[in-house]
């Protein structure tokens, strides 16, 4: 029935790649050394907080950053908000010289997060004196709802971070601070809240252990990626990218953070991941907003395929780094191929059933049940085994059974990658690259498109 060697071999190839990647990530996470603190006073810190219609959260975020990190400057980029975001920040800036408002106005505003961050970079350049040692100026991007570990600056100043002069960027771990919220959707019923709790828990599990393990593995391959929240970059490294690309962050990029990391490594700077400090954000309890966010990420990965020739030929990427990077941003392609193969397999099964009879066709499939069962166990167990790790580090008050069930749910949760990849591919084919902001959980009344594709 399945005469094509490709049809037979491709799923096994993908599974082998996944298992190898999982084993490396798990080992890197469990065997990581504790990051040493450094001297945060040796650096000048500047937080970039891009905002669009963020009046529900921006005041709290600025207040916490200024309280926890009193020596740092906070640059809030108001991307022409329709609410009081700019006014809230302006009021604070009048009494606090370390709070700065970067106001953007249409038609130049609302051109993406990368463009907003570039405007803050320009303002920072005008603010700093000409004799500033730009190797000792560090920029940190924080989401409008982000909360940074009060000890984060000491951690990223250490030898695993900017204490090493070759380090151009540092990414810290990301947590979902509403993972223990019993009612993420206070206006909905028990069933909807049960699903919302699980969805947020899966995001926390994904970021705090699974993704952290991937990043620590990338530390060994020299291909750590930068994220949109908790992204630390040396100003001199941003300067080097701007000299080569005209701007640090690429306009029109759906993954401007990840692309920044690619440019940083291509330019010769090292990026590290520090799992012993964190930034927290709100997990999304709404399935539609979640799928929209992941579709954007999948489409952003597809955009990154254009970097493949530069990465393969770069002297700053070793062989392991090339393989890991290509594996990362070709994931949506693999998902699309898998979906296509599934369609072909079902079509062949239908043809076989029509020619030989339904009983014979399904009888042949049932004969393969030991292989199918073995593959299922091998596919599910890596996700389940993240459960006890997550319980140890993030939910020690929960039972081992709960942790194992969370691991099983993580396996089911991972299947969102297939519709997200398909939707991202369709959007790319249709030339649709614009996105509306994701609505915050605290927002009640908003204006403009929220959490929908544009």
pLDDT tens track for 322-347: 999 999 888 888 888 887 777 776 67
For residue 92, the model assigns a pLDDT of: 92
Burial class (CB in 10 A: 0-12, 13-18, 19+), 158: buried
Q: Are 232 and 138 in contact (CB under 8 A)?
A: yes
Give the 3-state secondary structure of residue 274: strand
d(CA 117, CA 123): 10
Q: Are 236 and 134 in contact (CB under 8 A)?
A: yes
Q: How many C-beta atoms lie closer than 10 Å to residue 451's C-beta?
A: 20
DSSP-assigned letter for residue 435 = B
Does the model's pTM come out above 0.95?
no
Q: Pick out the chain residues at pLDDT < 50.
A: 1-3, 444-454
> E strands along 164-225, which residues?
167-176
- Phi first, then psi, for residue 166 (nearest 5°) are -85, -10
Calculated CA dihedral for residues 2, 6, 8, 11, nearest 10 degrees: -140
**Closest listed residue to residue 253, CA positions, set 307, 315, 314:** 307
For residue 362, the model assigns a pLDDT of: 56
For residue 283, the model assigns a pLDDT of: 94
The order of strands in the sheet holding 44-51 is 99-104, 73-79, 44-51, 137-141, 231-234, 167-176, 270-281, 147-148
d(CA 160, CA 275): 11
What size, in residues, is the chain? Answer: 454
For residue 2, the model assigns a pLDDT of: 45
For residue 105, the model assigns a pLDDT of: 86
**How many helices and strands (H and E) does the chain possess?**
17, 8
Burial string for 169-183 (b: 16+ CB within 10 Å, else e) reads: bbbbbbbbbbbebee
For residue 1, the model assigns a pLDDT of: 44
Q: 246: Cβ–Cβ under 8 A, 6 or more apart, which residues?
A: none
Whole-number Cα distances in Å, 389 to 229, 427, 449? 23, 37, 39
């Amino acid at each position: 029935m399945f005469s094509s060697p490709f049809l037979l071999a491709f799923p096994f190839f993908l599974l082998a790649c996944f298992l190898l990647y999982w084993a490396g990530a798990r080992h890197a996470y469990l065997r990581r050394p504790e990051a040493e603190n450094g001297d945060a006073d040796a650096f000048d810190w500047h937080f970039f907080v891009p905002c669009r219609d963020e009046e529900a959260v921006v005041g709290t975020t600025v207040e916490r950053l200024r309280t926890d990190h009193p020596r740092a400057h906070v640059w809030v980029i108001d991307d022409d908000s329709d609410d009081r975001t700019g006014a809230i920040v302006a009021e604070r800036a009048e009494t606090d010289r370390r709070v700065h408002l970067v106001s953007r106005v249409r038609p130049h505003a609302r051109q993406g997060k990368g463009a907003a961050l570039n405007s803050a970079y320009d303002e920072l350049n005008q603010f700093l004196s000409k004799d500033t040692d730009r190797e000792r100026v560090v920029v940190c991007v924080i989401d409008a709802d982000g909360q940074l570990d009060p000890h984060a600056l000491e951690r990223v100043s250490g030898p695993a971070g900017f204490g090493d002069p070759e380090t151009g960027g540092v990414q810290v771990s990301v947590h979902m601070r509403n993972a223990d919220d019993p009612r993420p959707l206070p206006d909905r019923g028990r069933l909807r809240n049960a699903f919302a709790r699980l969805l947020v828990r899966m995001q926390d599990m994904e970021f705090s252990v699974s993704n952290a393990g991937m990043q620590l593995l990338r530390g060994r391959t020299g291909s750590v990626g930068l994220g949109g929240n908790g992204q630390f970059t040396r100003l001199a490294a941003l300067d080097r990218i701007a000299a080569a690309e005209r701007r640090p962050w690429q306009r029109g990029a759906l993954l401007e953070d990840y692309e920044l990391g690619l440019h940083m490594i291509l330019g010769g700077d090292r990026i590290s991941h520090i799992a012993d400090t964190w930034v927290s954000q709100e997990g999304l309890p709404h399935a539609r907003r979640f799928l929209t966010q992941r579709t954007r990420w999948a489409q952003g990965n597809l955009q990154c395929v254009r970097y493949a020739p530069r990465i393969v030929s770069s002297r700053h990427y070793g062989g392991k780094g090339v393989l890991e990077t290509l594996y990362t941003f070709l994931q949506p392609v693999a998902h699309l191929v898998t979906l296509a193969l599934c369609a072909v397999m079902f079509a062949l099964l239908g043809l076989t059933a029509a020619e030989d009879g339904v009983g014979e066709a399904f009888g042949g499939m049932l004969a393969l049940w030991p292989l199918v069962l073995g593959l299922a166990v091998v596919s599910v167990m890596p996700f389940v085994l993240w459960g006890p790790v997550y319980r140890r580090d993030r939910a020690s008050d929960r039972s081992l059974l709960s942790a194992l069930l969370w691991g099983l749910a993580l396996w089911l949760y991972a299947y969102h990658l297939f519709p997200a990849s398909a939707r991202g591919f369709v959007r790319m084919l249709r030339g649709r690259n614009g996105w509306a902001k994701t609505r915050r959980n605290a927002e009640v009344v908003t204006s403009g498109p929220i959490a929908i594709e544009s």
